[in-house]
């Protein structure tokens, strides 16, 4: 690990002297890791992700996974596709019509009753008291006027949005040999306890844009100023669709990176981060290969390394 002002890490790493950021061997490792991760998500095209839009993916991309049970609001919008086992669990909740085998309809007027019943039945993991926008998966426009508690989105297979910020120090010898600042997730977190993350990450809340969420999360999780966060570079948006313990994860993620202001020291303001540490690009790649980095954060870091390496020639 590169020594600096942050907490030291105790991990051991496999990279040798020949395996440095600008080398052919590092590039090969980077592309293998990227290929492995990219198999699990869909990239938006460059024209849409450059705008950091709320909805960068087509209905066909959102519906690529087969075998899920569609869920509509009573007003017609397709708001989710649930894993079959979860559709059977939730079909008897207040406000839901259908047997869970073919399709389900959620009464728009009973969203509160539905949410409270899900919480009481233990079917909403990690209730946070935070609202997210619901999207119509058959259109690529604005979000539905309806909103739900964030812990209900995985059971419904509804679309969430998240931001990820990879942050690096500018190396005094070679600006294209990046040193990344990473946060280790609190061991009390329900998802990914103890895993490494980027500098900041989190959900886009109801009524927020991804850029607004990035500024908020960077302040809450690392104490980064709004001006510094707004200077982050948008790298790529990508869609994750996979089964998780709480149901089905359908998430549009927005990857950003940033060269940190001189002298900045991250502070775990909201206590979701156990500590911060600094790592060379080779060390970050080691962590990713060992499965010690959150999946979406790993993708954001790999996007950053790709772009930084390309800029270095």
Residues 248, 254, 260, CA angle at the centre, nearest 5°? Answer: 135
The residues that bridge with 131 in the sheet, in sequence order, are 149
CA gap 38, 133 in Å, rounded: 26
CA gap 267, 265 in Å, rounded: 7
Contact 203, 133 (CB under 8 A): no
Query: Mean pLDDT for each consecutive 10-residue tract of the chain (313 residues)?
Result: 46 58 89 86 60 65 88 93 94 91 93 94 88 87 78 95 93 79 86 89 92 94 94 91 92 93 84 87 93 92 89 60
**Smallest Cα–Cα separation from 247: which of 94, 65, 111, 76?**
65
The hierarchical CATH code for the domain 24-54+160-312 is: 3.90.79.10
Task: Write out pLDDT tens, residues 73-97.
Answer: 999 999 999 999 999 999 999 999 9
Query: Hey, what's the torsion of the CAs at 290, 294, 297, 298, to 10 degrees?
Result: 20
Instruction: Using CB atoms within 10 Å of the CB of residue 118, give its burial: 0 to 12 exposed, 13 to 18 middle, 19+ buried.
Output: buried
Terminal CA-CA length for the chain: 25
pLDDT at 67: 93
Task: Write out pLDDT tens, residues 146-193.
Answer: 899 999 999 999 999 999 999 998 776 777 788 999 999 888 777 788
Residue 174 phi, psi dihedral angles, 5° rounding: -140, 110
**Smallest Cα–Cα separation from 150: which of 137, 142, 159?**
159
**Smallest Cα–Cα separation from 73: which of 138, 3, 165?**
138
CA gap 182, 171 in Å, rounded: 16
Class of 69-156 per CATH?
alpha beta
Domain-wise residue ranges, the chain: 24-54+160-312, 69-156
Q: What is the pTM of this model?
A: 0.88
CA gap 292, 287 in Å, rounded: 5
- H runs (alpha helix) in the chain: 24-38, 46-49, 59-62, 84-90, 111-120, 153-156, 210-222, 226-230, 281-289, 295-312
């Amino acid at each position: 690990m590169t020594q600096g002002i942050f907490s030291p890490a105790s991990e051991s790493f496999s990279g040798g002297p020949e395996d440095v950021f600008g080398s052919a061997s590092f590039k090969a490792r980077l592309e293998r890791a990227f290929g492995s991760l990219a198999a699990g998500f869909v990239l938006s095209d460059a024209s849409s992700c450059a705008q950091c839009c709320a909805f960068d993916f087509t209905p066909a991309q959102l519906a690529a996974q087969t075998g899920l049970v569609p869920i509509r609001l009573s007003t017609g919008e397709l708001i989710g596709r649930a894993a079959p086992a979860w559709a059977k669990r939730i079909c008897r909740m207040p406000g839901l019509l259908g047997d869970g085998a073919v399709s389900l309809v959620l009464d728009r007027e009973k969203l509160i009753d539905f949410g409270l019943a899900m919480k009481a039945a233990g079917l909403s993991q990690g209730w946070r008291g935070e609202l997210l926008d619901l999207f119509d998966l058959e259109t690529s426009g604005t979000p539905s006027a309806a909103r739900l508690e964030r812990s209900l989105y995985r059971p419904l297979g509804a679309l969430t949005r998240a931001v990820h910020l990879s942050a690096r120090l500018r190396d005094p010898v070679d600006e294209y040999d990046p040193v990344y600042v990473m946060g280790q997730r609190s061991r009390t977190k329900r998802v990914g306890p103890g895993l490494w993350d980027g500098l900041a990450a989190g959900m886009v809340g109801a009524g927020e844009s991804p850029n607004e969420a990035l500024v908020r999360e960077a302040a809450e999780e690392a104490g980064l100023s709004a001006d510094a966060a707004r200077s982050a570079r948008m790298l790529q948006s990508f869609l994750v669709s996979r089964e998780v313990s709480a149901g089905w994860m359908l998430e549009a993620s927005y990857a950003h990176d940033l060269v940190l202001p001189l002298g900045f020291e991250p502070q775990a303001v909201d206590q979701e981060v156990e500590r911060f540490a600094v790592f060379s690009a080779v060390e970050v790649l080691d962590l990713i290969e060992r499965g010690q980095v959150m999946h979406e954060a790993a993708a954001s870091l790999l996007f950053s390394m790709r772009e930084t390496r390309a800029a270095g020639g």
